Structure 1
Amino acid sequence: MTSEILIAPSILAADFARLGEEIAAIDAAGADWIHCDVMDGHFVPNISFGADVIRAIRPVTKKVFDVHLMIAPVDPYLEAFAKAGADVITVHAEAGPHLDRSLQAIRALGKKAGVSLCPSTPESTIEYVLDRLDLVLVMTVNPGFGGQAFLESQLEKIRRIRSMIGDRPIRLEVDGGITRDNAAAVAAAGVDTLVAGSAVFRGKGGADYAANIAAIRAAAEAGWGPKLQHSSAQSKRVSEGGRVR
């Protein structure tokens, strides 16, 4: 089980006229990862940006680029995003017929592999690819637009995926309508990596972004805390030769 909450601001909510400055600002404000939402106007009803933009902004920060590909087909473009500077490449389970092949291709490019599930997609879809994954991304809105309301129906799915992950070193990420008001609930359900767009890029710049990130992190850590304590207690009992019930 992971032991650290990560905050990954989505640059979809940034001011695109000042994109480099916005990324530098969230880097300085305490972002752990930079979440890049790539949309094609086909798999989802919106167009955002492609590999050339990733390449252009890569020199701005050394933080992990968490690239979420909401595109179909996806396989022909994996290499381009890898070469552009993606560190984690996440594909949708719904975006192609051969999810296992796509994940193999990402890892063959030397990148961490993630899979994303739309709200209507059951967690059973990823049961047979868990050992190829570094990250599972649960969409808590229907993908395609920023600023949507959080779907509480996904909390139970998150709990089931956390159970499926078990002791595997897989991060469980959530994206869609995340704010300081629901960060504790998703963390308590098992999420350790939170994507937030509008809730981070609210205000007039660096100081406001830092306050927003800190508030989301504090709420998430409050929700995650009991889970960490339980995990630590289990580990201690195992190390002492006890049986975990």
Structure 2
Amino acid sequence: MRPIHFFSLLLSALLLVAVAPIESMAQAQFRALVFSKTKGFRHQSIPDGVVALKKLARDNQFEVYTTEDETIFTDEKLARYDVIILMSTTGTIFNAEQKAAFEKFVRSGKGIVGIHSATDTEYEWPWYTKLIGAQFKNHPHIQSVRLNVIDRKHPATYHLPEKWLWTDELYAFKNFNPDVRVLITADETSYDAKDGMGEFHPMAWTHEYDGGRIFYTALGHTDWAFLSHDFMQHIYGGIWYAAKGYPIEK
């Protein structure tokens, strides 16, 4: 064996030994279940959103498992996760046993994150409506809006300006839970709202409900939303809060 080749192999082996302990020390902050089942309208942005959440997990040291199989909603299977991310779910998805497992997960002190059409889900389940915070009512065509970031003391809004110009499918809601903490509102004078919600039009909120922590954002209809650094930081702040429960400024 040539001396140069031998020393190259030796150096490679030493590097592997040096790196191995560092890699073995890496530990996920928390585990997230990304659930994107639809039984109503299906957003074409779901695959982009799932990929973006995987990248977010890689960049922020947490684990994700993605699925559209509702049979994962059992006590045993959900026990390994700290937060469930409802990625633009729609329709009536869960049976009675799966609903019970979902409720038990929340009551154990864990977190739920809802993205966009998570409010277009499970209309006949009052517990879920209170949890997610509202039900989808309608939306106009996709357009730009001035968003008012009225609460910048939450991890989902730390980084955002007070006035945020954003383009999306802008949901209006019914059966809104007045007990939530609203983070962002839409200025209906800045877009063609049609049958909107008036002067107070919530677009993102958080609250504690039945023992768990919940974050919801109505944003995220489009593919390109998940390419936005500001939007993904908004999502990550909500996930981090829901999973860990770390302090929010009062």
Q: TM-score range by the shorter chain?
A: 0.3 to 0.5
Q: Pick the structure with more helix per residue.
A: 1
Higher Rg: 2
Q: Pick the structure with more strand per residue.
A: 2
